[in-house]
């Protein structure tokens, strides 16, 4: 289950824990850690920089991997800019993510953000497209992840088992040897996201392991404010003197 409040508190993605490699020459954007709810929504801003029309396909998935009915094909004219809003005014707060695929050879800029409205203040948190990692095991110093949230997104069409554990053995590259009580394990369905809050670790190294290599996005979130805009109104209406 994604800790949505924690994700919204992340002003920006911290440096990615582990290097992520591009998946060939495809024009595909995977945009993780979006969100929607009664007072929040996500915005995708698409800009066609070319002089030709562009065809795009959009898919949006809930945090549990189920598709949202926002999917469809979009056409952008030459130099056209369009905003796509992902929201659910009457529903509960929930994390989601989007995949955008370019079906024609052109130049498209993709920007994304999560916007949260509280009173007269609108706070915006940028999101960036990420490529799936080529790894199935990632190792980091425990000090780099303590007190932060690790976000894992399975963008593959197969389920995977995700394991987190800690060790003092610098050469260890697996959680399989850890006991059931020493490792946290999650079943992650296709297109599902999981976020885990990392507390104080007693060992020096933190390990994340997936049973399906090559199709996951792994990010680290830290707390911080977003970009805030405050709206105010200062207006008055003057009436003419009454007619006698």
Question: Distance between CA 237 and CA 77 in Å, rounded?
Answer: 43
Q: Is the pLDDT of residue 160 over 90?
A: yes
* Domain extents in the chain: 25-130, 137-221
Tokens of residue 46, six digits: 């698409």
Exposure string for 4-32, b = 16+ CB within 10 A, e = fewer = bebbbbbbebbeebeebeeeeeebbbbbb
| DSSP-derived secondary structure letter, 31 | E
User: Residue with structure tokens 């404010």?
Assistant: 225
- Residue ranges in the chain assigned as alpha helix (H): 4-8, 142-145
Domains 25-130 and 137-221 share a fold: yes
Q: Each residue of 204-226: pLDDT tens digit?
A: 999 999 998 878 999 888 876 56
Q: Is 64 exposed, middle or buried (0-12, 13-18, 19+ CB in 10 A)?
A: middle
Q: Enumerate residues 6+ apart whose C-beta is below 8 A from 242.
A: none
Q: Enumerate residues 6+ apart whose C-beta is below 8 A from 219.
A: 13, 16, 17, 32, 33, 130, 150, 151, 153
Q: Is the pLDDT of residue 72 over 80?
A: yes
pLDDT at site 178: 66
DSSP string, 132-176: PBS-SEEEEEHHHHTTSEEEEEE-SSS-EEEEEEEES-TT---ST
> Which of 43, 40, 25 is closest to 111 using CA atoms?
43
Name the average pLDDT for the chain.
Answer: 80
Q: Is the pLDDT of residue 66 over 90?
A: yes
Q: Each residue of 76-121: pLDDT tens digit?
A: 999 999 999 998 766 788 899 999 998 777 688 999 999 988 888 8
The fold for domain 25-130 equals Hypothetical Protein Tm1070; Chain: A (2.60.290)
pLDDT at site 15: 36
The better pLDDT of the pair 37, 227 is held by 37
Q: Name the CATH code of domain 137-221 (choices 2.40.110.10, 2.60.290.11, 3.30.40.10, 3.40.50.10790).
A: 2.60.290.11
| DSSP-derived secondary structure letter, 4 | H
What's this model's pTM, rounded to 2 decimal places?
A: 0.81
């Amino acid at each position: 289950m994604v800790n949505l409040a924690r994700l919204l508190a992340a002003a920006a993605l911290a440096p990615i824990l582990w290097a992520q490699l591009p998946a060939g020459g495809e024009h595909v954007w995977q945009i993780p850690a979006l969100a929607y709810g009664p007072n929040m929504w996500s915005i995708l801003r698409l800009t066609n920089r070319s002089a030709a029309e562009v065809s795009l396909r959009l898919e949006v998935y809930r945090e549990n991997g189920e598709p949202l009915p926002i999917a469809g094909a979009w056409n952008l004219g030459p130099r056209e800019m369009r905003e796509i809003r992902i929201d659910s005014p009457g529903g509960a707060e929930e994390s989601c993510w989007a995949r955008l695929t370019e079906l024609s050879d052109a130049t498209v800029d993709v920007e994304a953000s999560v916007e949260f409205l509280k009173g007269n203040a609108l706070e915006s948190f940028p999101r960036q497209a990420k490529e799936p990692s080529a790894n199935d095991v990632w190792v980091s110093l425990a000090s780099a992840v303590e007190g932060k949230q690790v976000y894992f997104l399975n963008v593959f069409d197969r389920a995977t088992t995700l394991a987190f554990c800690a060790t003092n053995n610098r050469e260890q590259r697996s959680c399989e040897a850890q006991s059931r009580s020493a490792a946290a394990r999650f079943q992650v369905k296709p297109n599902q996201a999981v976020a885990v809050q990392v507390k104080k670790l007693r060992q020096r190294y933190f390990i994340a392991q997936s049973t399906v290599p090559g199709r996951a996005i792994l990010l680290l979130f830290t707390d911080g404010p977003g970009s805030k805009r405050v709206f105010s109104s200062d207006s008055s209406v003057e009436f003419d003197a009454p007619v006698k």
